[in-house]
Structure formats: C-alpha cells, structure tokens
Structure 1
Amino acid sequence: MSRFRTGSLVFAVLCTSCLAEARATGVLHTRGSEIVDAGGQIRTLRGFNLGGWFVMEPFMSPMDRTHRLQDSMSVMRTLESRFGRETARRLVALYQKSWIDDGDIARIAKAGFNAVRIPVWWGQFLNIDDPTASGWRGDAFADLDRIVAACRKHGIVAIIDMHGVVGGQSDNPDTGQAGENRFWTDPEAQSATAWLWGRIAAHYRDDPTVAGYDLINEPAPPKGMAAKEAVWSAYDRLYRTVRAEDPQHMIFLEDSFGSWSLNMLPPPSRFGWTNVVYESHIYPWARNHPGVPQAQAAERSAERAVDDAARHRDWNVPIYIGEFSALDTAPGTWKTMIERFDAARLNWTIWSYKAMDRDGTPNFWGYVEPTVALPRPDPSTDDAETIRRDWSAWRTDGAFAANPALR
C-alpha cells in the first residue's frame, strides 16, 4: 500500500482531512450546502472516478491494441458475433474483474479517500440488441454489486453515474456507443432510460453505501436544440422516476453542457427538487486558454469553479466537482486545485483512478498507471483464450504503481 500513497506525494498530503472525518452511518443526504450522514456529521466527498471499468474508453483502456474498436458497444458486438453472447459476457466480466477489484477499493480507502464515482452505461444492464425491459440481463448487477460490497467493506461510498443513457446523450465514445446522441429526440430511448433508472434506484434504495445517483453524464443535446429546456426536462423526468422508487438517496445533476457552469442549471425550487447535489466538471484544455501555460490554465479553471459555486450559494445545495484533471502538470498544480476546492467546501472526485496511454505507457490521467508493458488483445482476431489471458494481466497489484507524472 505504501508505494501507492508515498509515490504520489500530492495525494498523500492532501487527504489528511479525509482521514479525519468519521465514516458515514446511514444514507447520506443534503443539509443546505453540505452533505451529511444520518448522525448529522458533515461528509465532504473526496475520491476518484472508476473510469475505464464498465465504460471502456480507447485513450485509457486496454480494449483493443489495434485501436479499431472505439467504445464498449463495438467491443461487445465484436465478441458476441465471434464467440456468442455467453462467452462474450464472460470475457467482458473478466476484464472488469481485472481492471477494478476489492484491492483497488481498499487502496483508495487506505490512502484516505472516502468516495468513488462509478460510470455505468445501459449496455451492462440490458442486451445490446434489445435496450428495453424485455432485454434485462440476469447478471445486470453482478459486478456493480461486487464493487459496492467492497466499498461497504472498506468504509467508502459510491456514486452511481449514468455515463451512457439508452440512445446516447452525446456523440462521445464515453457514452458506451460513439456517434449516437439519439436520446434527446427518441421517446423510446427516454422511456427505456427512465425505466432503467427505476430498476437501479429500487435495487439500491436501502443501501447506505450508495451515496446517490448521477442522472446523466455530460449531456450534450444536438446543435439547434434548446439545450437547457431539453436537459432540464430530462432531469426532471428521471428525478421523479428515481424518487418514486427511492425517496432517500441524493440525486446528482450536472451542469456539464453548454457553458459548463452552474448557470446551466435551474434553481432547485423551480422543479421542487430536494436532496440534490449540483455537479460540475473541469478540464482546463489549452484550446480554451490560448497563450496560457497549462498549469496556469488549471489553476484558473479551479478558481472559476470556486467562484461559480460562491455565486450560487443562495441555491443552498452542495456543489460537487464530479470530474477534474490538472492535465499534464506538476504535483503543485494538482495541490493548488484541490486546496482551493477544499477551502470552498466543495466535494470532488478526480478523473481517474486507473488509466494507461494508447501505447500502454503512463500518462497524467490515472492515480495508478502501469509500470510494465502489459498485453492488450485484438477482440476482432484473437481467440478467446488469448483475450482472456491478456485482460487478466491488467490487475493493479504487481503491474501498477503511483503515476510518475504526478510525483
């Protein structure tokens, strides 16, 4: 454990406040602008996204060494067409068990963090050729329950994040299926997504290990559509669907569309939303800060988020930085960003806990990254045993260590 904690100095020194907080008891809920446990103790959330786990992304996941397959859907379709559904699902489940296991959750908890955000998508709950109630998978909750149980064991909480709704909420491959963005104009996709959220909420409604539900990750209605109206309507429908099954858990609502600021969200009183957390994402891309060094862009982005939260304090909701990165900067930049979030009493989860570069080498995306060259399969041509063997090699223990880019 120590090699992960001391190898990345910035995270080792920044989570003393995480360690000082008592572990949650009962279902977390909001109290004004704070998140509290059943005993009324403030529970500021700090941790990581479990990126690349259920939702494969080509820039950070060992999904396909040829880079032909660009999303989870293409991997699953390829495997099913070659080996049949049962073998395909076993292979994907093996990938998932290798990428994140109990040891990873233990490592996060021992380093002083108290939360993980878990990106999920509809294809892990429904047959990829039948995204309706009739396509419900018998193993829909198997791996998600496994990691929620690990979180319970190690005293941290999980935010379930819908990274990919039925039909897709953007063109991005991080929805599970690139090039879709059909959700906004497809009533059947909207209904299927609402039904799916109802199943998830019913499954976890009495589980205090689950902090809450992030309804739609980074919604991006097509150009020409009134984005605020479309997103607010979708949020309200999904909010009410979840509340019908689970009146207890927090609901997370993202501003990550349009201007990527809290101005994209309505005051919660407009729709009667309660026990909600408002969420922002921060990626200080150089293209958005022309002529500014990367470190300065990251620090400016953090300051902008803090100022944005301050301007909306009268909404009386907790603010959560659900995803952020200092990108390719020194540890001091990460430290500055996190210190500013903490001083402003913002909740946060870094993107991401675990990652690799396209060529299998470390980059700045993961808290832990590979230390040795690891095999990656070609799902389009390799036999099932080769795919199984290659994906089995991606367990964190023995092959990953603290990201040297963050030392």
Structure 2
Amino acid sequence: MDFWDAPRKGGNSFNRLPPDQAYFDALADYGATWVRLSYDKWAPAKRDFLLGDADHYQGLVEADLATLVQVLDRAHRAGLKVVVAPLSLPGMRWSQNNGGAFDDRLWQQRRYWMQAAAFWRDLAKALHAHPAIAAYNLINEPAPEKMAGLPEHADALAMRQWYAVQQGGTRDLPAFYQQLVAAIREVDGGTPVMLDAGWYAAADAFGYWPAPLEDARTLYSVHMYEPYGATSAPNLLRAQPYAYPGGTPFAGRWQRWDARRVRDYLERPLHWADAMGVPRSRLVVGEFGCMRRLPGCVQYLEDVLGVLDEHRLHWAFYSFREDAWDGMDYELGKAKVPWRYWQAMEQGKPDPLPRQATEAFEPILRRLRQ
C-alpha cells in the first residue's frame, strides 16, 4: 500500500494486442510509474478472456492467465507497477464484446455476485505474488444505476434517496464490492483494491455511499470526461462541435464548462472523502481525456490536470498508444490517422504508426517528467 502514499502518474493500456516490451519501456521513459491494464480486447482462448464465459464462470482460463503474466513481466522489467482492470465480470460482459448491448445481469441476479467473487478469489491467488501488481481495480466503470431509475448526474439528494431503496439489494455497489474484497482477502491479505464509483465511475457518484469500505487497503477511483458532450467522439461529428471552454449539454440542461466548472466537479469526490475520513492519498482519477482533434482539448487537459496537481491525486491518462482506437492517443497530434492504422487492425497486426511528443500530449508529458 505504501506505493500509493505519494502521488502516482501513469497511463491506461486498453490495447487489442498484448503490449510488448517496447510499449512499457516507452511509457516508463516518459516518467510514468504505473499503468492501468485491461486485457478484455486481447484474443481469448474461449468466449471471454480469462473468464472463459461471462455467462457462467467456472475457473480461470490457464492459457489467458499465462498471457497476462507475460505482460505483467514486461511491465515489471520496465519498472512500472500495474493495476489490473477487467472490463467484464460474470453477468456483466463489456458492451463492446456483447454486440454493443449493456449487460445488466450482474445487477439483477445474486448468483453472478458469487461468480464474480470466485473469479476475483482465483485471480488474486494467481497474481498476488507478482512484483508488478500495485492494485486490483475490481471492475471498470460499473453502472448498477443505469437500468434502475437513477438519472446520470442526478443531484445528491436524489442519489441518496435512490440508494436508500436499493441498499441491501443486487444494485448495492458498496455491498457488491465488500463481497468481492472478502473473497480476495481469503487468499491475498495485502494487495490494495481499487474501486470505481458507480454510473461509469462518475466523479459525483460516490456521493450516495454512506461509508467507505472497512478494508484499509482500499483506493477510490473516478473517471473524468465531463462534459462528455464536448470531450467525446460524437462531438467531432457535429456540424458545429460544442467548444471547450463553452456551453454544452450536461445533466439534462445547458451549462458552461470552463476551468472553474471542471474544478467544482472534480472536487466532489474530495468532499465525500473528507467527510468520510478517507485520506486524499487513497483517491485516484483512473481515467481522463478528450478527443485529441478537438480544438479545446489541450486546454481541457490543462484544466483537469491543474486540479489533480493541486490536490496531489493519483492519475492515469487515457490512453497510451491504443492500437484499437486513435481518439485519445495524444502522441498522434491532431491529424487523422492514415489508412494503414485501420488496415493493421483488420489484419490483426501490430499498430504501424510512429509516435512522438506533440502539442496535444504536452500537458500530460510535462507532468510525467516532473
């Protein structure tokens, strides 16, 4: 846990191919100390990587586990710590591996809680001794609220009222996490766990939690893409994209977003942590970013990172040299990628594009090198 006592800066790895040694070496050379690693895009031996089948978990797939350990070995050789971050759990298959459909079964049926706990018990047993492991991020961007009547970015009172009804049921995210952590602690008493807030790890979604987990080795993570209407891929397709700074739809109404609004929003998990007695060193912004080709992206990154710097929070930018999507790969600058990028993806070949420091990457790079 002492790794997290000082602010840690890193990047996200959501690649379609298991990253090679050069990938991790490059991230470390920039000054990163950790990488948040997802494996769900890698070619699985069965239906779902590592899980075998998210419809019915029966044990880790050994061939997939061997691939994951090899990747962890590479990160360790580069001097990076790793936070393993699944995108799928039993009963919650990641939508991009599920025909684009949101999978809500985990939040409806308790049997999937049991399968998810068994999965994490198995994975912790397999990985706890690996020197690269810095934390287990139990699930990426859970959203038990999505199909249960709570609007995204609802006000704090509405969130608490919603949770009062759901507490003790299958959409009780803190209780779900507690069950997973208890399973992990049966085989691994030391590795920290990292917990994403609900509603896709929204920075305002810890607000309804009545208490932190009792486990002292817990980190609390949010993601920052707000205002999504301005930072996201659909905005690029608009005849007149929403500008940052500027007005954009958010929480059902029109709002102006600028450095002050970013600060106000990002300080919400800080207020929750302070009220709960959670040290700032246990807060993480596990993802943040904006579409690199948007004119306001550099300013947005500066504004977000300014808040994270001020409060000395851990962070990982999204994303580092992603070979499946170029939207937030800041080393590519602001130009469209050439056809050979997409051709390599279609052919299952490594990403062929060179990377370099660019203006779009500068706000992140400057801080990695500090």
The verdict on a shared fold, with TM-score over 0.5 as the criterion, is yes
Give the corresponding residue for 2:329.
366
1:144 aligns with 2:110: no
The equivalent position to 1:105 in structure 2, one of 18, 24, 29, is 24
Per-residue deviation, 1:146? 2.0
> Where in structure 2 are the equivalents of 1:249-260 lying within 5 Å?
249-257=191-199, 260=203
> Where in structure 2 are the equivalents of 1:275-290 lying within 5 Å?
275-284=217-226, 285-286=228-229, 287-288=249-250
> Where in structure 2 are the equivalents of 1:198-237 lying within 5 Å?
198-221=121-144, 222-224=147-149, 229=167, 230-237=172-179
Give distance in 2, aligned partners of 1:245 and 1:392: 38
Deviations 1:303-328 (A, max 9, x none): 42135314522522411011111443
How many residues are aligned here?
305
1:118 aligns with 2:37: yes
Give the corresponding residue for 2:11.
48
Structure 2 unmatched ranges of 5 or more: 41-46, 151-161, 230-248, 363-370
Partner SS, residue 217 of structure 1: coil
Aligned-partner residue type, residue 115 of structure 2: A
1:189 aligns with 2:112: yes
Partner SS, residue 159 of structure 1: strand
The equivalent position to 1:161 in structure 2, one of 65, 82, 85, is 85
Give distance in 1, aligned partners of 2:51 and 2:116: 11
Contact 2:262 2:303 in 1 (8 A): no
TM-score (norm 2): 0.71
Give the corresponding residue for 2:183.
241
Partner SS, residue 163 of structure 1: coil
Residues 310, 220 of structure 1: alpha-carbon distance in 2 compared, 3 angstrom cutoff: closer
Per-residue deviation, 1:208? 3.4
Deviations 1:275-307 (A, max 9, x none): 11111111112321765566x2x6623442135
Residues 345, 310 of structure 1: alpha-carbon distance in 2 compared, 3 angstrom cutoff: farther
Residues 350, 260 of structure 1: alpha-carbon distance in 2 compared, 3 angstrom cutoff: same
Partner SS, residue 139 of structure 2: coil
Deviations 1:370-402 (A, max 9, x none): 85422646xxxxxxxx98x8221425xx54445
The equivalent position to 2:209 in structure 1, one of 245, 251, 265, is 265
Contact 1:255 1:264 in 2 (8 A): no
> Where in structure 2 are the equivalents of 1:265-344 lying within 5 Å?
265-268=209-212, 271-284=213-226, 285-286=228-229, 287-288=249-250, 296=258, 300-313=261-274, 314-317=276-279, 318-327=282-291, 328=294, 329-344=296-311
How high is the sequence identity, in percent, across the aligned residues?
A: 18
Aligned-partner residue type, residue 74 of structure 2: A
TM-score (norm 1): 0.66
Deviations 1:174-231 (A, max 9, x none): 7897332111122332222111111111112123321111112222122159656321
Q: Which has the higher contact order (CA 8 A, sep 6+)?
A: 1
The equivalent position to 1:391 in structure 2, one of 335, 348, 370, is 348
Aligned-partner residue type, residue 321 of structure 1: V
Give distance in 2, aligned partners of 1:188 and 1:403: 48
Structure 1 unmatched ranges of 5 or more: 1-28, 30-35, 54-94, 378-385
Per-residue deviation, 1:131? 3.3
328-337 or 120-129, which deviates more: 120-129
Contact 2:135 2:191 in 1 (8 A): yes
CA RMSD of aligned residues (A): 3.2
Give distance in 2, aligned partners of 1:217 and 1:310: 23
